A and B are shown apart, each in its own frame.
Chain A
Amino acid sequence: MRHIISVLMENEPGALSRVVGLFSQRNYNIDSLTVAPTEDSTLSRLTLTTSGDDARIEQITKHLNRIVDVVKLVDLTEGAHIERELMLIKVKAIGAQRAEIKRTADIFRGQIVDMTQSVFTVQLTGTGDKLDAFIAALGDNTVLEVARTGVSGIARGDKVLGL
């Protein structure tokens, strides 16, 4: 099963490599990874998606907790949560395609953030599935480049991942 794990860690050199290294070292997989500093400049928040049965996920969270730089973590998929991913996608857009791509982007609540005579750059936010669906909906149109941020997420309600 797919899990989204958010990790608060010391904003120190080497911290990220310790977390990422753990996954290759213990043969766990990472499907996506996003990391950035938080409102507290001494902390970074890292969110990763991985998959495995319950025993494997338990080992992953235990081993993450064992890393000295890891302050706290939460498996967001254990409760109600919001997950988002941002995608920037360049699509070939000539002639009749231009209107069609614009329409498709509107349906998905995407925005065209840049354009040339032959290319649209669409920005789209949502769950990974929604982004996949958009790419599928583009059908025969030529996708030139895709940049996805990876999943970020937060728990619903009052629950907070903080110190």
Chain B
Amino acid sequence: MLIRALHDEGVDILFGYPGGAVLHIYDAIFQQDKVEHILVRHEQAATHAADGYARATGKPGVVLVTSGPGATNAITGIATAYMDSIPMIVISGQVESRMIGSDAFQETDMVGVSRPIVKHSFMVQHASEIPSVVKKAFHLATTGRPGPVVIDVPKDVTDPKVKLPYEYPKDISLRSYQVPGKGHSGQIKKAVEALLSAKRPMIYAGGGVIQGNGAELLTKLTRKLGYPITNTLMGLGAYPATDKQFLGMLGMHGTYEANMAMHYCDVLLGIGARFDDRVTNSDTSKFCPDATILHVDIDPASISKTVTADVPIVGSVTAVLEEMLDQLGKSKSKVDKEALDIWWQQIEQWRDRKCLAVAPSTDGRIKPQQAVKAVYEITKGDAYVSSDVGQHQMFAAQHYPFDKPRRWINSGGLGTMGFGLPAAMGVQFAFPDAISVCITGEGSFQMNLQEYATCMQYQLPIKIICLNNQALGMVKQWQDMQYGGRHSHSTYSESLPDFTKLAEAYGHVGIRIEHYDELYSKLEEAFALKDKLVFVDIAVDPDEHVYPMAIKGGAMKDMVLSKTERT
């Protein structure tokens, strides 16, 4: 009944791992061929794979795990999806109803454990509830601000001996849950007038634009206005990164020009972004001191949470952007071209600083930024790029410009190491013919490397680009900058595996690159192996830091630009 309900909901793939409490469900899976089940090697990877699938497609990712350890292993992946508002359904097995609360074998209070990191959760009380619970769960996960929903299913509820009439509900209404639709027209009008009156405008767009499928409309609006735009880490791809109006990513490791333009703007349009601490820097009183702040978000709780909005607009990005474009056409006011020209001249001066430029090393050692740039060039900027968390993630975000939404797959909010490989699997299942790249570090990669086996089983030709600096690079960078260079437990160079042999042990291909001269040729060799998973182990300069970097407690204009320069 559960699998039938999933099929009726349009699910064709789910990621999972079997166990005692879900054996009835697995038997049902065995006896049908409509919903494909992907066997991962760890439940955390199931959630990340479903998450990667959801980010790349916009459809909800579905996970099936057993009770107890199966459920708790899924927690990190659920929290990852929750922080980034990714639609996900996690079905967890539970011990039989009569055993609940008795500390039975593999019993965990999943609804309780997952409560702070889900949009909602259900415990199915009776088999007859399955269709309506599944319907509600998908409705909740995919509408409004999306998020993960847990369905906890006691084993007796899926007992095949219980036969019931089955009917899948066509639609569902929840009296306590309304999805915000269009924004308030009066507020949108105010926002449009504010935008047109701006002398130094700035647009700041986040992951909500991608999740809400608003990238095209945002691009249209931004081009029509001719205003500068920046994207958050989660929003990369919401506006074409190679366009001249794009100032790069903002925030802690954002570009000099994006952060300066943020600080000095007089009207800021924040859309689908939540003004989080990695953007605003820690002291929000110093944030955009001269700006009138317009904030569009589907979640009222995101508005005025950290930075007070002057014009709050609650609504879906597409509806709000459509109306903005409409009102822009009707408005009697016009863009102040003269002021905008002066503003752009200022921005170009900031841009001329070339804050992301990298000096090649003299001894042939590869700079991590060069490796990302090479991957960008070889994939012609058209790959799906998943990443893990740390320096490599920031280098990828800075040096792989994304022109399309849903191409950059990373754990922004929770910052989950180990996310990259399983997420790249989810992407590859969604788009078997696309290039699915995982840019990782040797630290993050080792957190979910068991998924090599899953990749072999399903023949996933993922290209793993490991920026190997023999250390937990971001930790080490902070230790260099704030802890007198005391590298407490951030290095382990003497105990790293031979990554080439490790890949080969699982039946994949391993390539090692140590010198800049061979960077392009060997990467091309790797990408030419279209049917194989290739692990490219790139020895990068271990002393490299990610710059720019926000100065703690400062404003957005306060940045460290290199080992010797500050703003």
Which residue numbers of A lie inside 8 Å of B, CB to CB? Answer: 9-10, 13-14, 17-18, 21, 25, 55, 58-59, 62-63, 65-66, 68-71, 163
Contacts and interface: CB of A to CB of B under 8 A. Distances in A.
A71 to B, nearest CB: 4
Of listed A9, A65, A66, A68, residue having the most chain B CB within 10 A: A68
B176 A70 contact: yes
A116 B111 CA distance: 47
- Looking at chain B, what size class is its interface with the partner chain? 10 to 19
A84 to B, nearest CB: 27
Of listed B175, B177, B301, residue having the most chain A CB within 10 A: B301
Given A18-B115, A55-B304, A59-B301, A10 B121 contact: no
A17 B301 contact: no
A68 B119 contact: yes
B176 A10 contact: yes
A142 to B, nearest CB: 41
Contact of B299 (A10, A66, A70): A66
A68 B174 contact: yes
A68 B175 contact: no
Contacts of B91: none
Contact of B308 (A13, A18, A55, A66): A55
B115 A62 contact: no
Nearest to A64: B301
Contact of B175 (A14, A25, A63, A163): A163
Give the secondary structure class of A's interface.
helix
B300 interface: yes
A71 B175 contact: yes
Contacts of B175: 71, 163
A28 B15 CA distance: 37
A55 B307 CA distance: 10
Interface in B103-148: 111-112, 115-116, 119-121, 123, 140
Contact of B115 (A10, A17, A55): A17
Nearest to A59: B305
Contact of B176 (A21, A55, A68): A68
Interface in B281-327: 299-301, 304-305, 308
Given A13-B123, A55-B308, 15 more contacts: A9-B176, A14-B121, A25-B116, A58-B304, A59-B305, A62-B300, A62-B301, A65-B301, A66-B299, A66-B300, A68-B120, A68-B140, A68-B176, A69-B176, A71-B176
B273 to A, nearest CB: 17
Contacts of A65: 300-301
Contacts of A163: 175
6 interchain residue pairs of minimum CB distance: A62-B301, A71-B176, A68-B120, A25-B116, A62-B300, A68-B177
Contacts of B299: 66
Of listed A13, A14, A65, A71, residue having the most chain B CB within 10 A: A14
13 contacts: A10-B176, A17-B115, A18-B115, A21-B115, A21-B116, A25-B116, A55-B308, A62-B300, A62-B301, A65-B300, A66-B301, A69-B176, A163-B175
A104 B120 CA distance: 50
Contacts of A62: 300-301
A163 B299 CA distance: 22
Contacts of A63: 301
Given A9-B176, A63-B301, A17 B308 contact: no
B372 to A, nearest CB: 37
B304 to A, nearest CB: 7
A14 B111 contact: yes
B176 A17 contact: no
A10 B175 CA distance: 9
A163 B176 CA distance: 10
Contacts of A69: 176
Contacts of B174: 68
B123 A17 contact: no
A55 B304 CA distance: 8
A135 B305 CA distance: 40
Nearest to B301: A62
